[in-house]
Every structure is written in C-alpha cells, then in structure tokens.
Amino acid sequence: MRKVEVVSYSADWKDRFKEEAEQLQKIFGSEMITIHHIGSTSVNGLSAKPIIDLMPVVRDINNMDAFNDAMIAIGYEPKGENGLSGRRYFQKGGDNRTHHVHIYEMNSPEIKRHLAFREYLRKHPKVAKDYGQLKEKLAKQFPYDVESYINGKEQLATEIEEKAIHWYKGLEK
C-alpha cells in the first residue's frame, strides 16, 4: 500500500534530479531537446513528497514509445499518456516511488504550465510555504488515502496555477 509522505525540503533533490537527467539524456539522445526539474521538489524550501519529477522536452512525442524497453531497464514503468493527451508518463519505484517522468513534445502548452507553476512558487515563498503546509497537513490526515490527499490540495493548486500562468505570461512580454 502506498503511503502519502510529505517531508521538509532536501537539497539532495537537486542532485537526484541531475543524476536521473543524465540517465535520461543517454536513453533519449538527440530526441530530447532539454529536461526540466518540475514539481514541488524543484522549489527550494517547499515541503514535498520525496519524488523527483522530471520533464523531458522532445522533438516528436510519437517516437517516445520506442524507448519503453530502455526505460524499463533502468526501473521505470511506462504508463503511456496516463490521462493527459500528448504526454508520455513513467513511474519509478512502485509503491515507494522515487521518480516521475513527464515527457512532452516541444511547443506543448503543458510545458509552460509546469514551468509557470514552478517559477511562481520559487518567486513567491509565502505561497510556497502555505502550499507546503497544506500538503503536510493532508499527508497526516490521509496517510494511506492518496485520492483524498490529492483532492484536498486540488483547489489551492488550481488557484496557484491560474495565478502562475497569468504571472508567467507577464514575464514573457
């Protein structure tokens, strides 16, 4: 059974991202344009589930399924689109997940959404602190109920995301 665990920020998360990003670069080679550290572990000081979220940006999403065997060889479970059209998603670690890989094709609007959320939290530490505290509270309240944990943070996450996207668009001008 999967346990919802939210822990204090760890500087180790940056190193874990870099190590995994190097492995993914070897697998995807020239198909991968860049890779981003996203999610709560990418925000200094933010409490999070200790799962590293990586977002490779690739030339052609349709070529990604050919890499499933290589991803399985380094411990990932391919999940296909997993509910989001235009994405390829992989999980590592089974019930004790360590990494999630969210692959998008260049120019996907999902890339900007993830980066806006990350950058907004990095530039607004009070918002990040409130978000982290909510996640800590929900993890204690629902330690073995992932769905209730996710539902509990959904409203605040959506509010932050909407503000973040608006804020991020302002930076692009």
Q: What is the pLDDT of residue 129?
A: 96
Q: What is the pLDDT of residue 173?
A: 58
Q: What is the pLDDT of residue 58?
A: 98
Q: What is the pLDDT of residue 147?
A: 95
Write down all domains in the chain, each with its CATH number in brackets. 12-172 (3.30.460.10)
- pLDDT, averaged in runs of 10, over the chain (173 residues): 92 98 98 98 97 98 97 98 96 94 97 97 97 97 96 97 95 69
The residues, ordered by sequence, that sit 6+ positions from 98 with a Cβ below 8 Å of its Cβ are 16, 50, 51, 52, 92
Q: What is the pLDDT of residue 2?
A: 85
Burial 64-99 (b: 16+ CB within 10 A, else e): beebeeebeeeebebeeeeeeeebbbbbbeeeeeeb
Rounded to 5°, angle at Cα 49 from 152 and 109: 75
Q: What is the pLDDT of residue 26?
A: 98
3-state secondary structure 11-45: CHHHHHHHHHHHHHHHHHHHHEEEEEEECHHHCCC
- Predicted TM-score (pTM) of the model is 0.95
Q: What is the pLDDT of residue 109?
A: 95
